[in-house]
């Protein structure tokens, strides 16, 4: 088991203005959750489950109404949010790349904000392009719109890693990609997580992806944390929603096993 | 004679460095001021719905004020302000020309800049803003490295629109004393010099297009991260500014400034005065096309040195007198009133340019109309046209009262077109000007004002307080006094309205001097 928690949520709550509807919409309701150093946690839930809000509370893109969020031992309310975000990597849904900046400038943005010397940033950009398996010469000076969806998300990952963070937050990072690209990128990222000894929290609505990539899975619904644990632990949960979420990958695996002959070298 | 061999093109070209230089100077200053004010306002207001709405409505309201009116409004406003600073802080400033023009034009440039900057900034995708925050940017860093660059194309479109508007509207700053390419247009319209009008319009259009294209080049350069294009565009603008500023800087400021209002007679008389000053070895420049109120205030505050006004105009407009006195008495009283403002009434030129009711001679004879009293019986079936101010002037009130005049219809008309309109029968009677040459040209008759409802309008030469004790100036102008009779002035005005090469105010003024010099 991993050691002391790097990110800890304690009885955290957050609600928003309901917009047109009266009253407030509760997005996160009394959630307590620990993420250990070096752990890969996936948070699974449908839309409106509060999973994205929970993720953003960690780097103060959103501030909690109740409870405390602790990162690297410090209550996030006591640290400067800008400095906090600079030391936490964040991968946005469909990249979130700056369309007017080249690949290299996108990747180098956080080091630049931190005041690294230009030569060091350039070297770091090349290193990261290698790391996310993009050809340096070919991609360095391109603009985001000249890249494929998968390449853009690789740049997004590289940007998140640029300032050598210990923690990476990922907001449905592979959701918009085709299955093959998604699979390859997922595996590549997991390898990076291990190699760089990162602590990763990934949001996904896909239980299969969560089981395949994460060490631990947390399930959210209606702002509440329903269950958390390793895939094995989750399978013993008596919560009907968790059971339902797990049934789908299981059934798919069974049907695929029946439909696809166990041939080849596998 | 082909259009382009007309010598007036050469004359127009000779004015170009002065007019264009001043035009660029006032436009660039106004645009720069407009940007300096609008950009921070737009940035501050972009996320505040109420402020944003208020700001845009205000700018829209300004935009609905016609350019000419906006410019004219700034003059009295600044005059009052200058008077305040003089009493409070012991210094005044010139409310004439450059300053009011720059302020009004800057205000005029604000709407497109505000609107496009706000639209551009609000158009940046929320996901991108979140990413900027997520990678650790402060809100200022987000603004400068992400939001402004992404909003730039929309903002530049607004800036380009503002530039074109300002350059176009700057032609209207002539009447408040700012020399501009509008000098061609105002002078040309008044003296029927279509070459000047065309030249002024073309020059303003070319300038606007050139600036627009240079700004487009800069925008294109920034967008495609091409330093070359950005630099070329910037260099182009800089060259334009420097090239137009150098000649106007080099002009001497010690010369006598002769003012002229916005009609042909004034252009001819100011040209005549300038010629006389130069003949006396003095250096003279002209400020033409000044509004009727502006020109008097400009003289009072020494922005111009000499011009010709009319006794009745000063009496009614400047000193708000509604009583009508016999000519000698009125002149005497005017002289003492002017002296209190330190303005010298040097003397009368010898003719009157009064309002008069005018109609075709044949029609008048057929109906047996010789005087306004005769007209009164027929007026109920007739229409009357006059310039834009006549119907609100005391003369019209007096005419109605004294003769019991009441027309079937009243129309306001550009003075240049009134005479043709009455000659063609489009209207029956016009309130014309006694010295207008078109009276003879169209075979019109001035109806006699036997009951003296209209005050005397003697043309008088006025000197600024600064020139009150200037013997050289006075000596140069005294030979004009009492020498210009109504026949000569009408003839001169007719020549000035001729619409050909011999009709430029300079040429007509020389003809007039020949004529009166021989007397």
Predicted confidence (pLDDT) at residue B234 exceeds the cutoff of 80:
yes
Range list for CATH 1.10.3720.10 in chain B? 7-250
Sign of CA dihedral B88, B91, B94, B98: negative
- Nearest CA to CA, how far is B223 from chain A (Å)? 8
Residue of B nearest to A55 (CA): B134
pLDDT digits (tens, 9 = 90+) for B416-434: 788 889 999 899 999 988 8
On whether residue A78 sits in a domain, the answer given is yes
Q: Which CATH number fits the domain that encloses residue A51?
A: 3.40.50.300
For residue B19, is pLDDT > 60? Answer: yes
Whether residues A21 and A77 share a domain: the answer is yes
Please state, as a whole number, how many other Cβ atoms lie within 10 Å of the Cβ of residue A68. Answer: 14
| pLDDT score for B324 | 75
pLDDT score recorded for residue A121:
95
Q: Name which of A58, A113, A121 to mutate to probe chain B: the one with the most chain B Cβ atoms within 10 A of its Cβ.
A: A113
Give the pLDDT of residue A21.
62
Token pair of B487, please?
């026949």
For residue B460, the SS3 value is strand
The answer to whether residue A54 sits within a structural domain is yes
User: Is residue A266 in some structural domain?
Assistant: no
pLDDT at residue A165 in the model = 94
Q: Which residues of B touch A76 (CB under 8 A)?
A: none
Cα B424 to Cα A261, B359, B490, B512, distances in angstroms: 103, 11, 21, 30
Does the residue A53 lie in any domain?
A: yes
Whether A92 sits inside 8 A of B146 (CB atoms) is no
Tell me the pLDDT tens digit for each residue of B329-369.
Answer: 889 999 999 999 899 999 999 998 988 999 999 999 999 99
Q: Using alpha carbons, list the distances in angstroms from residue B198 to B14, B206, B262, B472, B506.
A: 15, 12, 18, 38, 19
Q: How far apart are the first and last CA of chain A?
A: 30
Look at residues B441, B446, B502, B418 and name the one whose alpha carbon lies nearest to residue B191: B502
Q: What is the ipTM of this complex?
A: 0.89
Yes or no: say if B186 and B174 are a contact pair by the CB < 8 Å rule: yes
Asked whether the predicted pLDDT for residue B73 surpasses 90, the reply is no
Residue of chain B with shortest Cα separation from A161: B135
pLDDT above 80: residue B28: yes
pLDDT of residue B4: 63
Q: Which of B80-94, B356-370, B403-417 bottoms out in mean pLDDT, i.e. has the lowest?
A: B80-94
Co-location of A156 and A174 in the same domain:
no
Confidence of residue B495 (pLDDT cuts 50, 70, 90): confident
Q: Which residues of chain B does A163 touch, with a Cβ-Cβ cutoff of 8 Å?
A: 136
Residue A219 Cα, gap to closest chain B Cα (Å): 24
B355-446 has which CATH code? 3.40.190.120
Is residue A176 located within the same domain as residue A82?
A: yes
**One domain, residues A7 and A77:** yes
Residue B158 has pLDDT above 70, yes or no: yes
Least confident of A209-223, B30-44, B75-89: B75-89
Contacts of residue B167, defined as CB under 8 A and 6 or more positions apart, other chains included, come to B23, B27, B204, B207, B208, B211
CA distance B76 to B79: 5
Q: What is the pLDDT of residues B90-126, one digit of tens each?
A: 776 767 778 888 888 998 898 899 999 999 999 999 9
Confidence check: pLDDT of B1 > 50: no
Domain with A72 in it: 1-87+168-227
State whether A205 and A221 are in the same domain: yes
Pair A139, A129: CB distance under 8 Å: yes
Closest partner CB to B131 (pick from A83, A92, A100): A92
Please list every residue in chain A whose beta carbon sits closer than 8 Å to the beta carbon of residue B133.
61, 85
- Total domain count for chain A? 2
Six token digits for residue A88: 């936490």
B141 vs chain A: nearest CA distance in angstroms?
Answer: 9
What does residue A74 show for φ and ψ, rounded to 5 degrees? Answer: -115, 140
Q: Is there a single domain that holds both residue A1 and residue A83? A: yes
Are A64 and A103 within one domain? no
Structure tokens at B421: 């309109």
Q: Could you report the per-residue pLDDT of B201-233, keeping only the tens digit for each?
A: 999 999 999 999 999 988 888 777 777 888 888
What is the pLDDT, as a whole number, of residue A1? 44
> Is there a contact between A96 and B131 if contact means CB atoms under 8 Å apart?
yes
> Distance from B59 to chain A by nearest Cα, in Å?
31
What is the rounded distance in angstroms from the CA atom of residue B288 to the CA atom of residue B272? 13
Residue A248 included in any domain: no
Check whether residue A12 and residue A78 sit in a common domain: yes
CA dist B462 and B26 (Å) reads 29
Residue B245 has pLDDT above 70, yes or no: no
> Residue B83 pLDDT more than 80?
no
| CB within 8 Å: A96 and B138 | no
Q: With respect to residue A251, please indicate whether it lies within any of the assigned structural domains.
A: no
The reply to whether A182 and A196 lie within a common domain is yes
Query: Which of A117, A137, A165 marks a domain boundary?
Result: A165
For residue B383, what is the enclosing H or E element? strand B383-386
If you search the block for the tokens 């700056």, which residue do you land on? A98
Residues 6+ apart with CB under 8 A from A223: A26, A27, A28, A29, A31, A49, A50
Q: At what angle do helices B194-223 and B7-45 cross, to 10 degrees?
A: 40
Closest alpha carbon to A36 in A76, A71, A73, A3: A3
The shortest CB-CB distance from A96 to any of B130, B141, B150 is to B130
Q: Which CATH number is B256-352+457-517 given?
A: 3.40.190.10
**Same domain for A66 and A161?**
no
Architecture of domain B7-250: Orthogonal Bundle (1.10)
Residues of A in contact with B145 (CB under 8 A): 98
A23 and A81, same structural domain? yes
pLDDT (tens digit, 9 = 90+) per residue, B250-296? 445 568 899 998 888 898 999 999 999 999 888 888 888 887 778 88
Q: In chain A, at which residue ranges do the beta strands (DSSP E only) sit? A: 5-17, 24-36, 40-44, 66-71, 74-75, 88-91, 167-171, 199-204, 216-221, 224-229
Clarify whether residues A122 and A194 are in a common domain.
no
Residue A242 within any structural domain of the chain: no
Å between B42 CA and nearest CA of chain A: 22
pLDDT average per 10 residues of sequence, chain A (266 residues): 76 82 81 93 90 93 92 92 94 89 94 94 93 90 91 93 94 85 90 93 92 93 91 87 86 85 58
């Amino acid at each position: 088991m991993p050691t002391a928690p790097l990110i800890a949520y304690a009885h955290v709550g957050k609600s928003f203005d309901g917009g047109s509807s009266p009253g407030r919409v509760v997005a996160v309701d009394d959630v307590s959750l620990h993420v250990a150093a070096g752990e890969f946690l996936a948070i699974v839930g449908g839309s409106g489950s509060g999973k994205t809000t929970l993720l953003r509370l960690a780097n103060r893109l959103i501030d909690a109404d109740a409870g405390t969020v602790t990162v690297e031992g410090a209550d996030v309310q006591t640290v400067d949010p800008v400095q906090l975000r600079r030391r936490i990597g964040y991968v946005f849904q469909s990249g979130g790349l700056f369309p007017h900046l080249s690949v290299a400038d996108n990747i180098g943005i956080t080091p630049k904000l931190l005041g690294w010397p230009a030569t060091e940033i350039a070297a770091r950009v090349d290193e990261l392009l290698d790391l996310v398996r993009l050809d340096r010469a070919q991609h360095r000076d391109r603009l985001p719109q000249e890249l494929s969806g998968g390449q853009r998300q690789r740049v997004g990952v590289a940007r998140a890693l640029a300032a050598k963070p210990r923690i990476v937050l990922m907001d449905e990072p592979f959701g918009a990609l085709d299955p093959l690209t998604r699979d390859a990128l997922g595996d590549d990222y997991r390898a990076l997580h291990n190699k760089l000894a990162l602590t990763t929290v990934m949001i996904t609505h896909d239980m299969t992806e969560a089981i395949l990539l994460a060490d631990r899975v947390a399930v959210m619904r209606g702002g509440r944390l329903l269950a958390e644990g390793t895939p094995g632990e989750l399978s013993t949960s008596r919560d009907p929603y968790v059971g339902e979420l797990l049934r789908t990958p299981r059934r798919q695996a069974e049907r695929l096993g029946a439909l696809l002959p166990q041939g080849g070298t596998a | 004679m082909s259009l382009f061999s007309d010598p007036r093109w050469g004359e127009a070209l000779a004015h170009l460095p002065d007019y264009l230089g001043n035009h660029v100077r006032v436009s660039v200053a106004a645009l720069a001021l407009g940007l300096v004010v609008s950009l921070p306002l737009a940035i501050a207001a972009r996320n505040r719905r109420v402020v944003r709405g208020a700001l845009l409505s205000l700018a829209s309201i300004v935009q609905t004020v016609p350019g000419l009116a906006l410019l004219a409004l700034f003059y009295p406003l600044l005059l009052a302000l200058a008077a305040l600073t003089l009493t409070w802080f012991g210094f005044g400033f010139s409310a004439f020309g450059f300053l009011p023009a720059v302020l009004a034009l800057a205000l005029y440039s604000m709407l497109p800049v505000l609107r496009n900057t706000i639209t551009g900034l609000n158009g940046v995708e929320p996901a991108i803003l979140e990413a900027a925050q997520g990678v650790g940017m402060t809100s200022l860093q987000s603004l400068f490295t992400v939001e402004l660059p992404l909003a730039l194309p929309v903002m530049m479109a607004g800036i380009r629109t503002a530039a074109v508007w300002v350059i176009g509207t700057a032609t209207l700053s002539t009447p408040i004393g700012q020399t501009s390419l509008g000098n061609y247009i105002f002078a040309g319209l008044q003296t029927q010099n279509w070459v000047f009008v065309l030249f002024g319009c073309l020059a303003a259009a070319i300038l606007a297009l050139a600036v627009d294209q240079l700004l487009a080049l800069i925008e294109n350069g920034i967008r495609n991260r091409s330093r070359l294009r950005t630099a070329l565009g910037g260099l182009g603008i800089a060259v334009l500014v420097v090239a137009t500023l150098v000649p106007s800087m080099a002009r001497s400021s010690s010369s006598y400034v002769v003012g002229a209002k916005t009609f042909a007679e004034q252009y001819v008389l100011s040209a005549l005065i300038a010629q006389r000053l130069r003949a006396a070895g003095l250096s003279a420049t002209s400020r033409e096309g000044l509004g009727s109120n502006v020109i008097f205030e400009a003289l009072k505050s020494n922005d111009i040195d000499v011009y010709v006004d009319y006794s009745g105009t000063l009496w009614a407009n400047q000193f708000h007198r509604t009583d009508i006195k016999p000519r000698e008495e009125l002149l005497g009283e005017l002289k003492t009133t002017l002296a209190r403002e330190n303005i010298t009434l040097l003397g009368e030129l010898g003719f009157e340019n009064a309002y008069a009711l005018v109609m075709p001679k044949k029609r008048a004879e057929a109906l047996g109309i010789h005087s306004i009293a005769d007209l009164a019986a027929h007026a109920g079936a007739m229409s009357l046209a006059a310039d834009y101010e006549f119907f609100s002037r005391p003369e019209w009130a007096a005419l109605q009262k004294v003769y019991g005049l009441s027309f079937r219809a009243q129309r306001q008309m550009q003075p240049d077109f009134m005479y043709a309109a009455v000659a063609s029968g489009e209207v029956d009677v016009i309130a014309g000007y006694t010295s207008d040459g078109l009276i003879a040209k169209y075979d019109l008759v001035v109806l006699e004002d036997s009951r003296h409802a209209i005050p005397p309008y003697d043309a008088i030469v006025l000197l600024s307080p600064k020139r009150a004790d200037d013997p050289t100036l006075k000596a140069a102008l005294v030979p004009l006094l009492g020498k210009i009779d109504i026949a000569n002035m009408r003839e001169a005005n007719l020549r000035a309205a001729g619409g050909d090469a011999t009709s430029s105010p300079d040429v007509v003024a020389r003809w007039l001097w020949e004529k009166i010099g021989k007397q």
